[in-house]
Amino acid sequence: MLKSTLIRAAEAGAAVMQKYFQGEFKISNKEGVNNLVTEADHASEKAIFEIIKNDFPDHFILSEEAGEIVMDSSYKWIIDPIDGTVNFAHGIPLCCVSIGVEQDGEMILGAVYNPFIKEFFFAQKGYGATLNDKKIAVSKEASVGSACLVTGFPYSYLDQPNGPLNVFDRLIRKGVPVRRLGSAAMDLCWVAAGRFDGFYEHKLSAWDSAAGFLIVEEAGGRVSDFTGGRYSPYQPHIIATNGKIHDELVEVVNGRHPGF
């Protein structure tokens, strides 16, 4: 029942996105620069909550807009009702619903749905990852120098030593293509699907990566923090790759790679 609830919740949130997309809706700014929230975010979140609470009223929920709905439960739903809100607000169809389900601190289910390009990514711990019900796998690229990467930039501390601009600069000066989609959940899914060979970002929240990192792992990839250690969505740094370039990308991101 967890799986069916997750799928229905993601579909409900996506239906709201489609209803509001390229229409007129209220936009406000949360704390920080370009940290947008729209009435569509709240409406999507509400639709998702209704599905989950109907089936599992005693489950813990962590969602970007509502925050924590604390319950004494071993299950936690981690929700981004619209990942890529800036894209959504500008009519750019690179945005999605992202929902992860955690049991006793371990991610067991993940769904990321972009209804505009009709891509539904799903993973269950130990059962692999799918795109529109077809199995997916990460790429086989073995070198960062030949890889196609994706990243995102936070709106703060861009110029810190070894920060987002430093890493981006050292990669593009070596001719490595680095894209920026504006949705971390989609970035991760596109690594899982083999479109990108790796993804790194300096500052994410749990709802940005909870579903996507499981999808990458279940597609055969590797996800870590910036040290190369075990990944937790409750810390800000992430490196996700096909596994083959992982250790090398860790060195590049940390400024230790002699070739970069």
Counting runs of H as helices and runs of E as strands, what totals does the chain give? 7, 15
Contact 116, 21 (CB under 8 A): yes
pTM above 0.85, yes or no: yes
Q: How far apart are the first and last CA of the chain?
A: 48
CATH topology of domain 144-253: D-Maltodextrin-Binding Protein; domain 2 (3.40.190)
Residue 66: pLDDT band with limits 50, 70, 90: confident
Sequence spans of domains, the chain: 2-135, 144-253
**Tens digit of each residue's pLDDT (9 = 90 or more) over 122-155:** 999 999 999 999 999 999 999 999 999 999 988 7
CATH of domain 2-135: 3.30.540.10
Q: Strand, coil or helix: what is 145?
A: helix
Mean pLDDT of 49-66: 95
**What is the distance of C-alpha 47 from the center of its chain?**
20
Helix or strand (DSSP H, E) at 8? helix 2-20
